[in-house]
């Protein structure tokens, strides 16, 4: 099965599990009019002045743990108009987990990484993600191999910490209008408004909404928060392991990162872990 097909299967499996309630109780058809044995459930007080169908505010800016899955269209190839080699974009779906009191669990964010190296940069976001997830890249790697490596890593559904913030995009002006929760207009109570009426360049009013954006990926052992300026990188050592090869070619060599001071666990090579994915 091709890597792309596997990613689609993994996404479909994730979607099916979420809608079917796997890992929690299944929905059961009941007769609320006749069945006198049904539990009453929680007694709630409702704010009837609020619109129940209104767009909910995203979680506030901060550090969150997310579980990664391949996006709906995991990898897209972008060809250059000037004859340069193509680049690959990798779509990711992140699901917040282990938030305080579970308040924001299951909220989703949709970051992307690319094999392109931006102007003035020495590393692509795709390569940067691999490093943040705990792997050390070889000195050189081609874009296709890097895209495959990122996809395989995401298919393992790892959990990692990220910094999340708001942004709002204007479809009319085709640009990000607000970047950062504290840049949004405020309401009468001084709170940022997550739904804003925006005047476009064409002088047309457009309703724009705050969406989540991953502004920073935390590496293994990286503490604090970039939002508070207390980021403290951990000292690390590297243990080399080899990635499982593709059927038709060898995959690149990567290095798994282990934080100093952690109790040593039984080492399992990434080759073994990816082999399990191949069989799934």
Closest CA to 113 of 74, 170, 83: 74
Q: What was the pLDDT predicted at 57?
A: 86
150: confidence class by pLDDT, cuts 50, 70, 90 = very high
Q: What's residue 136's pLDDT?
A: 78
CB distance 269 to 242 below 8 Å: yes
**DSSP code string of 105-165:** TT-EE--EEESPPPTT-SS-HHHHHHHHTTEE--S---HHHHHHHHHHHHHT--EEEEEEE
pLDDT band at 80 (very low <50, low <70, confident <90, very high): confident
Res 68: pLDDT:
95
List the 253-259 sheet strands across, edge first: 135-136, 253-259, 236-242
pLDDT tens-place string over residues 91-136:
999 999 999 989 999 999 999 999 999 888 899 999 999 999 988 7
% of residues, the chain, pLDDT over 90: 51
Lowest mean pLDDT segment, chosen from 161-165, 200-204, 231-235: 231-235
**62-72, pLDDT tens digit by residue?**
999 999 999 98
Task: Give the DSSP per-residue string, 174-234.
Answer: TEEEEESGGGS-B-TTSPBPSEEEEE-TTS-EEEEE-EEEEEEEPPTT-BS-TTTT--BPP
Residues paired with residue 13 on neighbouring β-strands, in sequence order = none
pLDDT of residue 61: 93
- What is the spatial distance between Cα 277 and Cα 280, in angstroms, rounded to a whole number? 5
Rounded Cα distance between 278 and 280, Å, is 6
pLDDT at 174: 94
Q: Is 64 exposed, middle or buried (0-12, 13-18, 19+ CB in 10 A)?
A: buried
Q: How much is the average pLDDT of 156-184? A: 94
Structure tokens, 157: 């559904």
Rounded mean pLDDT of 18-46?
77
How big is the CA angle at 180 (ends 199 and 226), to the nearest 5 degrees? Answer: 170
Residue 113's pLDDT is 95
pLDDT of residue 252: 40
- 215/184 Cα distance (integer angstroms): 16
Residue 25: band (very low, low, confident or very high) from pLDDT cuts 50, 70, 90: low
* pLDDT above 80 (res 226): no
Classify residue 102 by its DSSP letter. Answer: G
- For residue 227, give Cα distances in angstroms to 63, 112, 181, 210, 223: 8, 21, 12, 18, 12
When mean pLDDT is compared across 142-146, 166-170, 262-266, the lowest value belongs to 262-266
Which residues have C-beta within 8 Å of that of residue 231, sequence separation ≥ 6? 222, 223, 224, 225
Asked whether residue 45 carries a pLDDT value surpassing 80, the answer given is yes
- Residue 23 pLDDT more than 50? no
Name the strand (E) or helix (H) holding 19.
helix 3-20
HSE at residue 186, side-chain half, CA atoms within 13 A, is: 6
Q: pLDDT value at position 175?
A: 95
For residue 149, name the pLDDT band (cuts at 50, 70, 90). very high
Which is more confident, 180 or 265?
A: 180
Q: What is the structure's pLDDT at 16?
A: 42
């Amino acid at each position: 099965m091709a890597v792309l097909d596997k990613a689609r299967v993994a996404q479909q499996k994730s979607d099916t599990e979420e809608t079917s309630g796997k890992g929690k109780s299944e929905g059961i058809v009941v007769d609320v009019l006749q069945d006198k044995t049904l539990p009453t459930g929680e007694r709630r007080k409702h704010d009837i002045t609020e619109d129940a169908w209104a767009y909910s505010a995203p979680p506030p800016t901060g550090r969150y743990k997310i579980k990664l899955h391949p996006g709906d269209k995991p990898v897209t190839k972008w060809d250059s108009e000037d004859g340069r080699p193509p680049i690959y974009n990798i779509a990711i779906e992140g699901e917040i987990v282990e938030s305080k009191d579970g308040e924001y669990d299951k909220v989703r964010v949709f970051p992307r990484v690319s094999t392109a190296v931006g102007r003035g940069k020495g590393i692509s976001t795709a390569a940067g993600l691999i490093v943040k997830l705990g792997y050390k890249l070889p000195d050189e790697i081609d874009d296709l191999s890097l895209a495959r490596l990122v996809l395989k890593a995401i298919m393992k559904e790892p959990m990692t910490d990220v910094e999340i913030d708001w942004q709002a995009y204007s479809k009319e002006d085709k640009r990000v209008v607000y970047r950062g929760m504290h840049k949004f207009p405020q309401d009468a109570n001084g709170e940022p408004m997550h739904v804003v009426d925006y005047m476009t360049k064409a002088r047309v009013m457009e309703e724009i909404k705050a969406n989540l954006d991953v502004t920073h990926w935390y590496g293994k052992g990286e503490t604090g928060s970039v939002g508070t300026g207390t980021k403290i990188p951990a000292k690390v050592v590297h243990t080399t392991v080899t990635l499982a090869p593709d059927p038709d070619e060898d995959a690149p060599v990567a290095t798994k990162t282990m934080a100093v001071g952690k109790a040593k666990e039984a080492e399992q090579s990434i080759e073994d872990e990816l082999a399990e994915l191949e069989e799934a």
